[in-house]
């Protein structure tokens, strides 16, 4: 039955009958003055509501007091927050927010003051499911006094609620005092809210620009996606004041989300939330519904399961966004905060979620392209090498055949040379595919102890056989032993020296030198002859450079040799550069650390 | 008398034929199969080869599956197998590998060693 009739039948106005609490008029005036001063002096909204609750609780001699107030979000949803006095917040945290039941409605709707000598004796008490009275474990309230706090524009800002375990504590003059305090509080709260909004808007505006710039730069970096996501989370912790921020990625085709980044209070990626089934828990629900979920009151939000944790850590707000690209789910961004989200903060986060979603999508598309390219080049390599194999074997057979006419020899040699060259190009193409497919580290190397000068000597020996008319001079100094991938290093020397033999003046020797300097082995491959043009020098180690350069009579192959050579040196932690001029010829200069220092 | 029978398994007809001819020219008897399954049937046939030259990437039954089947068969597991492949980095460890394009001398050396 309704209890808020105009008669005000349920407002007790009789003098306290139960407990008699002595009242010191002087003390009341002092307390009122203190309250007035405190309310007038405080501009910080959160501190103001706490001061209000503490002072008002003391003023009416309540054992415990609370101030419940509404916060509106831009979405139109409103959240109820509260401060509490005289009792530990944790003792209160497990209870749901008060609803507009017969007892509470007059206060929340700003209609009037409600006072009971003994609320448990009131006919409207205990009528509502599920508790039919106070929830089990609730503070024992008998004396009850509730005063709405109404702004000058008529808006109900919230309500002050007071309780005492004994009956009959609150009197009519308490009501009058608190109505006066509530009026003062309303003005102070309005000012504080205005002050907070202006301050928030100002600082958010500058932080928003900073954050947007930060996020954009982070997402456009070229390191691994997980590292970029992690830095985004860290930026949100720093600039958006989040307690912690996490990003989950939707596994393609699967029904789950994988935790990719976590910053703030928690930075681990394993544990209970590392993998979340779509549809389960708050994060999975956001993914399933593809709708953001925002609350400034995690303690009463049915989706937040671990309320004890939130109360303990002082977490009040949660915002979770599905990461969508053209309506398709790529992940979820979520954060907890110790302060409520304002409208502009939420707007900002929505934008950040969009940026992150796009970056994740770009990465996914890039991965798919890479997979296809690897597969394609792998198949191409295999399919090209097979017929080459048949040509090579057949040429070798002809070479060995006893009954071949003498004039066929030159043709057979041409077939062999061309098929060998083709095989090398296919090999380079496959190696290029492998280098490009590895996001970090480049070409894989297997470093084992060995002497780099031995490796170089062997290569020179082989090249002397295949280039019998050309001269190669060698010079080795000091101990060139270290950890090397012998096959790769041989390939590197072979490419550089063959290059020098090929492009250099055939009448002048190619000079190869290796020497030890501190923790490095340095080397040079030098040839005299036409220098490399300046345009060709620029980007000499780029793959397929020949595709952009004019073909000359001397250029053969795909232009991958120097790219692979450079990659081998890089994979050993070394450097390779080239000097070329008319007077001093062309020199490739190499330096490689003897041990893997990375 | 030594066993001079060789099994060549390769899906590329030209490669298989060229290898067969080459080995026949050197006095070996050659059995040839275009995939692992047919190769396995020949290996279990009347004449047991002394050496197998095996491609890896093939339809029906690839080289890896062929190796698995041979390793599980006590009667066959002792036969020497060399892998000839254009993807030597994918070849299983502890197997002899002759990268493609095949160097004829390297192949003949293996064959001689296996056949005695």
CB A229 within 8 A of CB A261: yes
Interchain CB contacts (distance < 8 Å): A and B: 54
Interface confidence (ipTM) of the complex: 0.72
**Which residues in chain B have Cβ-Cβ distances shorter than 8 Å to A488?**
none
pLDDT, residue A437, reads 56
Overall average pLDDT of the A120-134 stretch: 72
Spatial distance between the Cα atoms of A96 and A140, rounded to a whole number of angstroms? 16
State whether B12 and A393 contact (CB < 8 Å): no
- Residues in B closer than 8 angstroms to A420, CB to CB, are 101
Q: Which helix (H) or strand (E) holds A525?
A: strand A520-527
Chain B's closest residue to A390, CA to CA, is: B15
Q: Give me the pLDDT at residue B99, please.
A: 83
- A420-442 pLDDT, tens digit each: 878 877 877 777 776 665 554 56
What's the mean pLDDT when you consider all of chain A?
A: 81
pLDDT band at residue A193 using 50, 70 and 90 as cut-offs: confident
Q: Is the bond preceding A499 in cis, omega lying within 30 degrees of 0?
A: no
B5 pLDDT higher than 70:
yes
Give the Cβ contact number of residue A416 at 10 Å: 18
Higher per-residue pLDDT: A25 or A393: A393
Q: What percent of chain B has pLDDT over 90?
A: 38
Structure tokens at A415: 């077939």
Cα gap A155→A382, rounded to integer Å: 77
Q: With 60 as the cut, is the pLDDT of residue A482 above it? A: yes
d(CA A440, CA A570): 11
**Using CA atoms in the order A560, A563, A569, A574, what is the torsion angle rounded to 10 degrees?**
170
Dist CA A561 CA A542 (whole Å): 10
Residue with tokens 């139109």: A76
Interchain pair A387, B12: CB under 8 A: yes
In angstroms, what separates the C-alpha of A251 from chain B's closest C-alpha? 28
pLDDT at A440: 45
Kind and range of the H or E element at A388? Answer: helix A343-400
Range list of H helices, A117-262: 172-219, 225-239
Is A491's Cβ below 8 Å from some Cβ in B? no
Which H helix or E strand runs over A367? helix A343-400
Q: Where are the alpha helices (DSSP H) in chain B?
A: 13-25, 36-43, 63-72, 104-115
Q: Is A382 on the interface with B (CB under 8 A)?
A: yes
Provide the 10 A C-beta neighbour count for residue A146: 25
In Å, how far from its chain's centre is CA A255? 21
**Which residues in chain A are contacts of B104 at CB distance < 8 A?**
393, 396-397, 400
Per-residue confidence (pLDDT) for residue A560, from 0 to 100 = 77
Closest CA to B63 of B100, B36, B97: B36
Interface residue A30 vs chain B (CB under 8 A):
no
Q: What pLDDT is stored for residue A76 in this prediction?
A: 46
pLDDT at A92: 65
Q: For A31-63, what is each residue's pLDDT tens digit?
A: 788 888 888 887 787 888 888 888 888 888 898
Helix, strand, coil distribution of chain B in percent, nearest 5: 40, 20, 40
Set of chain A residues whose Cβ sits within 8 Å of the Cβ of B103: 396
Chain A interface, mutation test: which of B10, B15, B101, most A Cβ atoms within 10 Å?
B101
Residue A516 has pLDDT above 90, yes or no: yes
Are the beta carbons of A388 and B100 separated by less than 8 Å? Answer: yes
Interchain CB distance below 8 Å, A392 and B87: no
Instruction: Indicate whether A173 pLDDT > 90.
Output: no
Asked whether the beta carbons of residue B22 and residue A396 sit closer than 8 angstroms, the reply is yes
Q: Would you call A156 an interface residue with chain B, using a CB distance cutoff of 8 Å?
A: no
Residue A543 β-bridge partners: none
| Rounded alpha-carbon distances, angstroms, from residue A113 to A14, A84, A108, A342, B110 | 14, 19, 10, 31, 103
Check residue A170 and report its DSSP letter: -
- Note the pLDDT of residue A403: 78
Determine contact, residues A110/A156, Cβ cutoff 8 Å: yes
Confidence bin at A536 (pLDDT 50/70/90): confident
Interface test mutation site (partner B, options A383, A389, A401, max chain B beta carbons within 10 A)? A389
Model confidence at A488, pLDDT cuts 50, 70, 90, reads confident
Q: How confident is the model at residue A216 (pLDDT cuts 50, 70, 90)?
A: confident
CB atoms under 10 Å from CB of A50, counted, come to: 16
Note whether A394 contacts B12, CB cutoff 8 Å. Answer: no
Q: Cβ contacts of residue A143 below 8 Å, gap of 6+?
A: A18, A19, A62, A116, A117, A118, A119, A162, A163, A164, A165, A166, A167, A168, A169, A170
Cross-chain Cβ contact A396/B12 below 8 Å:
no
**Residue A313 to residue B111: CA distance in whole angstroms:** 74
**What separation in angstroms does the CA of A248 have from each of A154, A241, A242, A278, A571?**
45, 20, 17, 11, 33
pLDDT at B30 over 90: yes
CB proximity list for A374: less than 8 A, separation 6 or greater: A433, A437
- Note the pLDDT tens digit of each residue in A374-414: 777 777 777 788 888 888 888 888 888 777 787 788 788 88
Point out the residue among B15, B22, B57 whose CB comes nearest to the CB of A382.
Answer: B57
Token pair, residue A95, equals: 């209870």
A385 contact B CB<8A: yes
**Does the beta carbon of A378 lie under 8 angstroms from any beta carbon of chain B?**
yes
The interaxial angle of helices B36-43 and B63-72, nearest 10 deg, is: 30
Residue A537 C-alpha from the chain's centroid: 40
Alpha-carbon distance A555 to nearest alpha carbon in chain B (angstroms): 24
Q: Which of A140-144, A161-165, A474-478 has the highest mean pLDDT?
A: A474-478
pLDDT at residue A184 in the model: 85
| pLDDT > 50? residue A11 | no
Q: State both tokens at A127.
A: 């009528």
Percent of chain A residues past pLDDT 70, beyond the cut: 85
Chain A residues inside the 8 Å CB shell of B101: 385, 388-389, 391-393, 419-420, 423
User: Which pLDDT value is given to residue A293?
Assistant: 93
DSSP code of residue A77: -
**CA distances to A123, A129, A284 from A132, in Å:** 12, 5, 34
Alpha carbon distance A102, A116 (integer Å): 13
> Residue A105: its pLDDT value, please?
80
In this structure, of A95-104, A359-368, A522-531, B69-78, the range with the lowest mean pLDDT score is A95-104
pLDDT of residue A476: 96
Give the tens place of pLDDT for each residue, A137-157.
677 788 999 999 988 888 888
């Amino acid at each position: 039955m309704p209890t808020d009739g105009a008669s005000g039948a349920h407002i007790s106005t009789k003098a306290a009958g139960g407990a008699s609490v002595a009242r010191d008029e002087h003390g009341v005036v002092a307390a009122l003055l203190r309250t007035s001063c405190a309310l007038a002096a405080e501009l910080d909204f959160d501190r103001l509501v706490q001061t209000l609750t503490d002072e008002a609780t003391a003023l009416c001699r309540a054992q415990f007091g609370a101030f419940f107030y509404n916060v509106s979000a831009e979405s139109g949803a409103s959240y109820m927050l509260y401060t509490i006095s005289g009792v530990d917040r944790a003792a209160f945290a497990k209870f749901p927010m008060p609803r507009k039941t017969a007892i509470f409605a007059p206060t929340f709707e700003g209609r009037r003051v409600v006072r009971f000598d003994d609320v448990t004796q009131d006919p409207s008490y205990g009528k509502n499911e599920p508790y039919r009275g106070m929830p089990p474990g609730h503070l024992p309230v008998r004396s009850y006094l509730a005063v709405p706090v109404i702004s000058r524009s008529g808006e109900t800002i919230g309500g002050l609620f007071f309780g005492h375990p004994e009956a009959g504590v609150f009197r009519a003059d308490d009501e009058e005092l608190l109505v006066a305090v509530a009026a003062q509080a309303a003005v102070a709260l309005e000012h504080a809210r205005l002050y907070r909004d202006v301050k928030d808007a100002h600082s958010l505006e500058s932080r928003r620009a900073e954050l947007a710039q930060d996020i954009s730069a982070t997402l456009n970096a070229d390191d691994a996606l997980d590292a970029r996501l992690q830095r985004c989370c860290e930026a949100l912790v720093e600039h958006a004041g989040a307690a912690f921020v996490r990003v989950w990625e939707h596994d393609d085709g699967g029904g789950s989300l994988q935790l990719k980044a976590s910053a703030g209070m928690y930075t681990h990626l394993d544990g209970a939330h590392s993998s979340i089934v779509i549809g389960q828990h708050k994060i999975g629900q956001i993914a399933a519904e593809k709708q953001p979920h925002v609350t400034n009151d995690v303690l009463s939000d049915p989706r937040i399961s671990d309320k004890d944790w939130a109360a303990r850590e002082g977490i009040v707000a949660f915002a979770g966004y599905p990461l969508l690209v053209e309506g398709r789910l790529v992940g979820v961004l979520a954060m907890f905060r110790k302060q409520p989200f304002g409208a502009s903060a939420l707007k900002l986060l929505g934008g950040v979620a969009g940026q992150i979603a796009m970056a994740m999508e770009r990465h996914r598309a890039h991965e798919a392209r890479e997979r296809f390219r690897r597969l394609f080049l792998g198949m191409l390599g295999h399919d090209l090498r097979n017929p080459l194999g048949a040509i090579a074997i057949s040429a070798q057979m002809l070479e060995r055949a006893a009954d071949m006419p003498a004039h066929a020899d030159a043709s057979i040699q041409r077939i062999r040379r061309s098929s060998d060259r083709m095989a090398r190009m296919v090999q380079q193409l496959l190696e290029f595919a492998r280098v490009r497919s590895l996001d970090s580290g480049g070409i894989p190397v297997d470093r084992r102890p060995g002497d780099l000068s031995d490796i170089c000597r062997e290569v020179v020996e082989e090249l002397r056989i295949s280039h019998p008319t050309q001269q190669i001079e060698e010079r080795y100094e000091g101990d060139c032993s270290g950890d090397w991938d012998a096959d790769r290093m041989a390939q590197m020397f072979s490419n550089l020296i063959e290059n020098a033999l090929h492009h250099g003046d055939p009448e002048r020797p190619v000079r190869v030198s290796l020497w030890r300097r501190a923790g490095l082995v340095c080397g040079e491959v030098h040839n005299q002859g036409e220098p490399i043009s300046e345009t060709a020098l620029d980007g000499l180690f780029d793959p397929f450079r020949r595709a952009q350069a004019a073909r000359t009579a001397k250029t053969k192959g795909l232009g991958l040799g120097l790219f692979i050579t450079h990659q081998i040196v890089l994979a050993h932690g070394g450097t390779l550069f080239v000097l070329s001029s008319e007077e001093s010829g062309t020199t490739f200069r190499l330096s490689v650390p003897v041990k893997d220092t990375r | 008398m030594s066993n001079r029978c060789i099994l060549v398994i390769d899906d590329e007809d030209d490669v298989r034929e060229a290898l067969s001819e080459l080995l026949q020219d050197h006095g070996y008897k050659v059995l040839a199969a275009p995939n692992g399954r047919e190769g396995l049937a020949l290996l279990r046939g009347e004449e047991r080869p002394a050496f197998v030259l095996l491609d890896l990437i093939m339809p029906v039954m690839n080289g890896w599956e062929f190796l698995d089947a041979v390793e599980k068969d006590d009667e066959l597991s002792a036969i020497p197998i060399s892998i000839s492949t254009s993807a030597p980095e994918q070849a299983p460890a502890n197997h002899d590998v002759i990268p493609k394009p095949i160097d004829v001398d390297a192949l003949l050396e293996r064959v001689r060693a296996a056949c005695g």
